[in-house]
Amino acid sequence: MKIVVTGGAGFLGSHMVDYLLKKSDNKDEIYVIDNLQTGSLVNLKHLSENPNVHFIQADVINALSDERITSLEGIGQIYHMACAASPPHYQKDPIHTTMTCVQGTYNFLTLATKWNARLLITSTSEVYGDPAINPQVETYWGNVNCTGTRSCYDEGKRAAETLCFDFNRTKNTQVRVARIFNTYGPRMNLTDGRIISNFVYQALKGINITVYGTGKQTRSFCYVSDQIEGLHTLMNQDVTIGPVNIGNPEEYTVLEMAEKIREMIGATESNQLVFHELPQDDPKVRRPDITKAKTLLGWSPKVALHEGISLTIADFSRRIKEEADLLNL
């Protein structure tokens, strides 16, 4: 099958490309579309000789040229994953973030409709904002500030979901909407500012661990291979259903996560916890209700936190060492 993966040079996108190739015995033909804003070709380097992987450097915000649309004739599926996802990254150029979510999704829904392809978007637990209920079930409408510093992402993804279901209702476009909860693993950008990447990087570098606020806020962490399997299962489920939470319901406070990572890496005097101001509108709790994914998709996460963090630490250690070796050249 011809498959488009927008954001395919990013953390999740590149894992999706690997998974699709593996699942199809290298038969799928993959078109990666990425502007390399937060993604990197390093994530696809191992595929550079693969004739079934085509890389197109483009921003999803821009309308696809007629030539590009024609070249994508016959596509069966679009994984629309392009968007900065770490708060410091998506807040750096918030207007671009909103446009990525809204215009970008519009452009690829239009492409999906034209070639009768199925489109999955990676929406987010951020559509629930600072939730008033815990865990969050898909029927909960959320509690989102529409004018704050996180709004570009939260409201952008909410509008993207709206577009998906409106295309489905008015044009019969086949859509799948996954609400991704905090996902981590190898290939995360070393300094992308998110909790697991920051804590692992800081602990390995032997520098202080930055806890925002009191650290009593919670998140639930899903290992990347589980996330990718969940997205793939949702894409290949036969009918359009409403949004589906994909995440791991095991919930931890930020402090628990800091202690866990310090313990696993071996805490020293030089990596103490330091407390910083809590970012604006930082959700106090987050935990997915995954009943829908379990019952409709038969999917649930398998990788335990300890195992996932170990694999992440190993990957970060290797890349930090490579970086250091390069600097010593």
Rounded CA-CA distance 212/279 in Å is 7
Residues, the chain: 329
Instruction: State the number of CA atoms in the 13 A half-sphere of 315 facing the CB.
Output: 18
Segment contacting ligand UDP by CB under 6 A, of 21-29, 167-175, 194-202, 297-305: 194-202
Cβ closest to ligand UDP, residue 127 vs residue 195: 195
**CB 194 to ligand UDP: min, Å:** 3
Cβ closest to ligand UDP, residue 124 vs residue 173: 124
Q: Among 198, 220, 233, 271, which residue sits at the site for ligand UDP (rule: CB under 6 A)?
A: 198
Q: Among 118, 187, 219, 292, which residue sits at the site for ligand UDP (rule: CB under 6 A)?
A: 219
Helices 151-171 and 105-115 pack at an angle, to 10 degrees, of: 20
Query: How far is C-alpha 103 from the geometric centre of its chain's CA atoms?
Result: 18
Q: Among 40, 110, 210, 291, which residue sits at the site for ligand UDP (rule: CB under 6 A)?
A: 210
State yes or no: residue 256 binds ligand UDP (CB under 6 A): no
Cβ closest to ligand UDP, residue 17 vs residue 203: 203
State yes or no: residue 212 binds ligand UDP (CB under 6 A): yes
State yes or no: residue 279 binds ligand UDP (CB under 6 A): yes
Cβ closest to ligand UDP, residue 182 vs residue 312: 182
State yes or no: residue 217 binds ligand UDP (CB under 6 A): yes
Q: Interface mask (CB under 6 A) for ligand UDP, residues 43-82, using x and -?
A: ----------------------------------------
Q: Interface mask (CB under 6 A) for ligand UDP, residues 138-177, using x and -?
A: ----------------------------------------
Cβ closest to ligand UDP, residue 251 vs residue 315: 251
Q: Which of 153, 184, 201, 223 is catalytic?
A: 153
Active site residue 153: yes
Q: Among 251, 256, 259, 282, which residue sits at the site for ligand UDP (rule: CB under 6 A)?
A: 282
Segment contacting ligand UDP by CB under 6 A, of 9-17, 37-45, 192-200, 226-234: 192-200
**Residues facing 276 on adjacent strands:** 212
Segment contacting ligand UDP by CB under 6 A, of 2-10, 41-49, 204-212, 290-298: 204-212
**Which residues are annotated as catalytic?**
153
Given the rule CB under 6 A, which residues bind ligand UDP? 86-87, 182, 194-195, 198, 210-212, 217, 219, 254, 279, 282
